[in-house]
């Protein structure tokens, strides 16, 4: 176990400004908290966080990361709390330790490799501070190094599998190739010991055979470069057993065919020399086609830069060569962790896919010190997504802002259609609740439930929206059919006739409908008048004059739109449709602009061509024009369940004295009574008075009456009345 002063010295060796006091306090705190706990190996538990801190020191990370390493298991495994850590080490450290703890809790949730990619994204999304991820990787690395001490083979395998599928790719993603290689090798040894043994045996045999070859080729390559005037460091290296194994699997080639079992790395001092070395090698040896890759001009997404090429080497065998600078080498090994050391001249990463890395480097350039760099380094990747779990641990990725409705439809459209509620992390919460990363969602369903039009407001995925719309369309058609049938019955009965299928079938073509159902639905939707159908079936009735509908109520939908917008702006639900009784649910409803009905007014519904039902006040003059068409009248009332929020537009005609301040006292009175002026129009102006019409958003007719009374009591206001037409 690394001793306290050793750890501090190691950190100070690369960071002279490290907070020695904080490191010492964290060491002592961790030691005390873990107390007599033991690891599977029999070592004191605290040796683990200390080793993790040691790995982080090897990565040359800042004090906060090292301290987080020392404390990373205290919340999970001891009686330490986030609050206590915040009090002793500051909010910053508490946040980091908490982040690592949350990541650790993720592990147990899923064992399916299919979900690995989503899990990787989840881990990245949860590591809003990159140090959380770095500490987690160091934690996993030490656990893998000591994996053999765990007795249960199934548990060892699970951890190894997770390392292979989740943590090694994550390390690679942020460019930490050295950590990635070690994680992979350790996991490979656990998951496929036979495969690894065979690769090692074969490697050993080849090495024996070609023992002198590697130094010989090294010397030859060095000489070739020197003759071209280039001094370079050439080193031969072997691929790891796991990478050889994977290549053999992927490319389906035999061991000997693998060109890159022997690979050489050439380190030069700058980018120009990289290309110079490449030219010298390509000029001296036969180039293997398709082996050349320029990751300097176009770095890998994780920031990796190097030139790769393959040639027939000086001794006649195929070799792979990597050419890079020392800085690129360090970057390739340490990835993100390398950035904050190299402040000058980071990788050139102009392509859009390197945006996240570029922003890292930008912060790096601006930050005065390493601590601040890491502090402000946020992994922006996948911040536009949320990842949630089903109760069985299946991971579901959704766009940010998604709600349980989206989740339900993502699970299965049947689940979505019958969804009645959702338990988020065990708590029953509204369906409009926005989901967060790592939430576990249990959808409560009921066979009696059907999708509600209001769901569309808080669904964000296309799948959910489409399913809801489709359902509403189908249901609406059923309702139009039902309504159309009753409207036709009413119109026919008035003249002493019966609606017959034959009668409808005979005239359906007159209305350009293919089926009688289509015609009936069109009547229900108000697109075709019931009386028009009647007179088509019985042309003798035609002479009876029928009023043209529509013309006098064309603009009616506008007022409702405004009210709807007002409601939406306040985040209210659509209540206009459900506040009216006597209608078939789901029918389109509009409030007539001529009379502005308010809850509390006596009202009547008129089937309106192309508009569904229009609601008028019972004393509205417009109604006279429908006296000839009783089949279009519907008995309606207000649902007593109101929202109590201003959402309806009432119109007032007001006469105000033409004097300074009268308009402001008008608006003050309305505002004081919680009305909201949505429109104001001066209709007449004289020397003494203004006549104006104002639209006020109110909750109901009583609310409007209160405002009217208050206005009448205002000295500057002469007359107030409800506007009719």
Q: Which is nearer to Mn ion, 50 or 528 (CB)?
A: 50
Q: What is the end-to-end Cα distance of the chain in Å, rounded?
A: 89
**What are the CA-CA distances from residue 89 to residues 67, 85, 666 (Å)?**
9, 6, 58
- Name residues whose C-beta falls within 8 Å of residue 504's C-beta, 6 or more positions apart in sequence: 488, 516, 519, 520, 533, 537
Catalytic residue among 17, 76, 91, 619: 76
In contact, 242 and 183? CB cutoff 8 Å: no
The number of helices, as runs of H, and strands, as runs of E, in the chain is 30, 21
Q: Residue 145 CB, nearest distance to Mn ion (Å)?
A: 12
Q: Residue 45 CB, nearest distance to Mn ion (Å)?
A: 9
3-class state of residue 35 by DSSP: coil
Q: Does 73 bind Mn ion (CB under 5 A)?
A: yes
Q: Residue 644 CB, nearest distance to Mn ion (Å)?
A: 53
Q: Residue 139 CB, nearest distance to Mn ion (Å)?
A: 4
How many CB atoms are located within 10 Å of the residue 591 CB? 24
| Residues comprising the chain, all counted | 725
Q: Which is nearer to Mn ion, 139 or 518 (CB)?
A: 139
How many CB atoms are located within 10 Å of the residue 64 CB? 23
Q: Does 165 bind Mn ion (CB under 5 A)?
A: no
Q: Residue 48 CB, nearest distance to Mn ion (Å)?
A: 6
Are β-strands 648-657 and 233-238 bridged in parallel, bridged antiparallel, or unpaired? unpaired
Choose the stretch contacting Mn ion; rule: CB under 5 A; options: 6-14, 70-78, 241-249, 354-362. 70-78
* Residue in the block written with tokens 């029928």: 546
Q: Which residue is nearest to Mn ion (CB)?
A: 139
3-class state of residue 420 by DSSP: strand
Give the Cα separation of 123 and 83 in Å (integer): 24
Is 365 an annotated catalytic residue?
no
Residue 564 belongs to what H/E stretch? helix 556-569
Beta bridge partners of 355: none
Choose the stretch contacting Mn ion; rule: CB under 5 A; options: 69-77, 511-519, 648-656, 705-713. 69-77
Give the Cα separation of 649 and 563 in Å (integer): 7
- Name residues whose C-beta falls within 8 Å of residue 377's C-beta, 6 or more positions apart in sequence: 129, 130, 131, 336, 360, 363
Choose the stretch contacting Mn ion; rule: CB under 5 A; options: 31-39, 113-121, 133-141, 344-352. 133-141
One character per residue 498-537, x = contact with Mn ion (rule: CB under 5 A): ----------------------------------------
One character per residue 206-225, x = contact with Mn ion (rule: CB under 5 A): --------------------
Choose the stretch contacting Mn ion; rule: CB under 5 A; options: 137-145, 318-326, 582-590, 686-694. 137-145
Q: Which is nearer to Mn ion, 73 or 115 (CB)?
A: 73
Q: Which is nearer to Mn ion, 99 or 526 (CB)?
A: 99
Q: Which is nearer to Mn ion, 139 or 330 (CB)?
A: 139
Is 77 an annotated catalytic residue?
yes
3-class state of residue 355 by DSSP: helix
Q: Residue 161 CB, nearest distance to Mn ion (Å)?
A: 18
Q: Could you tell me the two tokens for 567?
A: 């409601």
What φ, ψ does residue 55 adopt, rounded to 5°?
A: -60, -40
Provide the H-helix boundaries in 43-151: 47-58, 63-71, 74-77, 82-89, 91-106, 116-126, 130-145
What φ, ψ does residue 717 adopt, rounded to 5°?
A: -100, 125
In contact, 15 and 62? CB cutoff 8 Å: yes
How many CB atoms are located within 10 Å of the residue 340 CB? 23
Give the Cα separation of 166 and 163 in Å (integer): 5
Choose the stretch contacting Mn ion; rule: CB under 5 A; options: 66-74, 153-161, 325-333, 404-412. 66-74
In contact, 647 and 560? CB cutoff 8 Å: no
Q: Residue 30 CB, nearest distance to Mn ion (Å)?
A: 11
Give the Cα separation of 542 and 526 in Å (integer): 20
In contact, 132 and 144? CB cutoff 8 Å: no
One character per residue 15-54, x = contact with Mn ion (rule: CB under 5 A): ----------------------------------------
Q: Which is nearer to Mn ion, 73 or 700 (CB)?
A: 73
Q: Does 139 bind Mn ion (CB under 5 A)?
A: yes
Q: Residue 37 CB, nearest distance to Mn ion (Å)?
A: 12
Choose the stretch contacting Mn ion; rule: CB under 5 A; options: 138-146, 320-328, 382-390, 462-470. 138-146
One character per residue 634-663, x = contact with Mn ion (rule: CB under 5 A): ------------------------------
In the Cβ-directed half-sphere of 235, how many Cα atoms lie within 13 Å?
Answer: 9
Q: Residue 135 CB, nearest distance to Mn ion (Å)?
A: 9
Q: Which is nearer to Mn ion, 73 or 375 (CB)?
A: 73
Q: Does 162 bind Mn ion (CB under 5 A)?
A: no
Biggest distance spanned by C-alpha atoms of the chain: 113
Q: Residue 194 CB, nearest distance to Mn ion (Å)?
A: 30
Choose the stretch contacting Mn ion; rule: CB under 5 A; options: 65-73, 195-203, 454-462, 522-530. 65-73
Q: Does 184 bind Mn ion (CB under 5 A)?
A: no
Q: Which is nearer to Mn ion, 139 or 439 (CB)?
A: 139
Q: Which is nearer to Mn ion, 15 or 73 (CB)?
A: 73
What φ, ψ does residue 651 adopt, rounded to 5°?
A: -115, 130
Q: Which is nearer to Mn ion, 100 or 379 (CB)?
A: 100
Q: Which is nearer to Mn ion, 51 or 532 (CB)?
A: 51
Q: Which is nearer to Mn ion, 59 or 397 (CB)?
A: 59
What φ, ψ does residue 322 adopt, rounded to 5°?
A: -110, 130
Catalytic residue among 20, 58, 77, 238: 77
How many residues interact with Mn ion (rule CB under 5 A)? 2
Choose the stretch contacting Mn ion; rule: CB under 5 A; options: 135-143, 198-206, 225-233, 492-500. 135-143
Strands (DSSP E) contained in 640-675 are 648-657
Q: Residue 218 CB, nearest distance to Mn ion (Å)?
A: 41
**What are the CA-CA distances from residue 344 to residues 122, 295, 333, 339, 364 (Å)?**
32, 20, 18, 9, 9
Q: Is 83 left (phi over 0), alpha (psi -120 to 50) or beta?
A: alpha
One character per residue 90-129, x = contact with Mn ion (rule: CB under 5 A): ----------------------------------------
Residues lying near Mn ion in the complex (CB under 5 A) = 73, 139
Residues acting as catalytic residues: 76-77
């Amino acid at each position: 176990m690394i001793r306290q002063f050793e750890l501090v010295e190691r950190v100070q060796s690369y960071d002279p400004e490290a907070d020695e006091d904080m490191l010492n306090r964290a060491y002592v705190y961790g030691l005390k908290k873990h107390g007599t706990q033991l690891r599977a190996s029999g070592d004191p538990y605290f040796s683990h966080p200390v080793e993790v801190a040691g790995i982080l020191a090897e990565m040359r990370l800042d004090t906060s990361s090292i301290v987080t390493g020392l404390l990373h298991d205290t919340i999970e495994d001891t009686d330490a709390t986030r609050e206590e850590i915040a009090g002793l080490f500051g909010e910053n450290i508490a946040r980091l330790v908490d982040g690592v703890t949350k990541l650790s809790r993720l592990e147990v949730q899923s064992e399916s490799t299919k979900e690995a990619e989503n899990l990787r994204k989840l881990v990245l999304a949860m590591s809003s501070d990159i140090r959380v991820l770095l500490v987690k990787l160091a934690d996993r690395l030490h656990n893998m190094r000591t994996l053999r001490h765990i007795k249960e083979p199934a548990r060892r395998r699970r951890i190894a599998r997770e390392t292979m599928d989740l943590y090694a790719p994550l390390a690679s993603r942020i460019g930490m190739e050295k950590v990635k290689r070690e994680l992979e090798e350790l996991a490979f040894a656990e998951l496929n010991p036979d495969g690894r043994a065979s690769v090692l045996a074969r490697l050993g045999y080849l090495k024996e055979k070609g023992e002198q070859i590697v130094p010989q080729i090294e010397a030859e390559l060095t000489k070739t470069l020197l003759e071209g005037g280039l001094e370079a460091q050439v080193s031969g290296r072997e691929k790891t057993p796991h990478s050889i194994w994977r290549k053999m699997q992927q490319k389906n080639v035999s061991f000997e065919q693998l060109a890159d079992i022997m690979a050489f790395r050439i380190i030069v001092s700058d980018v120009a020399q990289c290309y110079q070395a490449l030219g010298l090698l390509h000029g001296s040896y036969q180039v293997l086609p398709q082996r050349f890759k320029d990751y300097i001009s176009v770095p890998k997404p994780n920031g990796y830069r190097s030139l790769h090429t393959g040639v027939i080497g000086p001794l006649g065998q195929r070799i792979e060569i990597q050419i890079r600078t020392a800085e690129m080498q360090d970057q390739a090994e340490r990835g993100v962790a390398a950035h904050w050391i190299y402040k000058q001249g980071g990788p050139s990463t102009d392509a859009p896919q390197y945006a996240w890395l570029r922003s890292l480097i930008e912060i790096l350039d601006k930050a005065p010190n390493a601590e601040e760099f890491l502090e402000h380094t946020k992994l922006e990747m996948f911040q536009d997504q949320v990842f949630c779990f089903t109760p069985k641990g299946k991971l579901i990725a959704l766009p940010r802002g998604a709600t349980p409705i989206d989740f339900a439809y993502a699970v299965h459209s049947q689940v979505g259609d019958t969804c009645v509620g959702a338990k988020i992390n065990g708590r029953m919460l509204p369906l409009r609740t926005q989901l967060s990363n790592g939430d576990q969602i249990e959808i409560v369903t009921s066979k009696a439930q059907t999708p509600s039009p209001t769901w569309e407001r808080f669904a964000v995925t296309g799948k959910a929206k489409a399913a809801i719309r489709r359902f509403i369309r189908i249901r609406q058609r059923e309702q139009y059919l039902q309504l159309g049938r009753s409207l036709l019955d009413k119109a026919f009965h008035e003249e002493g006739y019966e609606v017959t299928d034959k009668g409808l079938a005979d005239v359906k073509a007159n209305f350009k409908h293919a089926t009688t159902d289509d015609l009936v639905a069109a009547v229900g939707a108000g697109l075709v008048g019931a009386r028009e159908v009647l007179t088509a079936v019985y042309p003798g009735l035609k002479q009876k004059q029928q009023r043209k509908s529509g013309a006098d109520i064309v603009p009616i939908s506008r007022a409702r739109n405004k009210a709807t917008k007002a409601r939406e702006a306040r985040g209210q639900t659509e209540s206009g449709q459900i506040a009216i009784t006597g209608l078939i649910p789901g029918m389109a409803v509009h409030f007539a602009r001529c009379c502005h009905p308010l809850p509390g007014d006596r009202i009547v519904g008129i089937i309106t061509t192309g508009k569904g039902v229009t609601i008028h006040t019972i004393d509205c003059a417009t109604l006279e024009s429908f006296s000839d068409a009783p089949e279009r009248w519907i008995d309606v009332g207000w649902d007593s369940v109101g929202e109590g929020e201003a959402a309806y537009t009432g119109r007032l005609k007001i006469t105000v004295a033409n004097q300074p301040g009268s308009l402001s006292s008008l608006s003050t009175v309305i505002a004081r009574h919680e009305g909201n002026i949505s429109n104001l129009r001066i209709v007449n102006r004289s020397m003494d008075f203004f006549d104006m019409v104002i639209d006020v958003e109110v909750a109901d007719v009583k609310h409007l009456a209160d405002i009217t009374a208050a206005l009448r009591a205002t000295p500057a206001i002469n007359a107030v009345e409800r506007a009719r037409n």
